[in-house]
Structure 1
Amino acid sequence: MTWSRLGIHAKPTALLDTAGYYDHFLRFLDHAVEQGFLRAADRALVLSATDPATLLDRLRAWQPRHDRRWEPVEGS
């Protein structure tokens, strides 16, 4: 996620959330957005799905962002 944000590569992070393994982590990321520690656009770099076909579809549909400059989180 950091490398994508810094422009080192233009790839998303993908998590296959089998049996809810990553549920807590994904909620943590959502909470970080709510609390202003993470931008929603950066949260969108982490794709997840509970089945491989859906995750592969999301990976195929993902488009890299073209704004590579660093911006603070709103309100900070």
Structure 2
Amino acid sequence: MSINIKGLDVDLSRAVWRKSTRSGPWTDNCVEVAFVDGAIAVRDSKNPEQRALIFTPGEWDAFVGGAKDGEFDL
């Protein structure tokens, strides 16, 4: 099933979900990411059946850049 969001047609049934290699048995705060149809999808690994968040490549790049620069550090 394909959805149209932010001008992208995204078919999440074809998504290959990946969890961070830093995830482990000591935390349950994990997300999974899939790069599919020119979009980036993010979902809660504990509730994969719930709706995923969809980001454009520009939005994803801004997020990753902010994380690398410490923008979200407490």
Q: TM-score, normalised by structure 2?
A: 0.28
Q: TM-score, normalised by structure 1?
A: 0.27
Larger relative CO (CA 8 A, sep 6+): 1 or 2? 1
Tell me which protein shows more helix as a share of its residues. 1
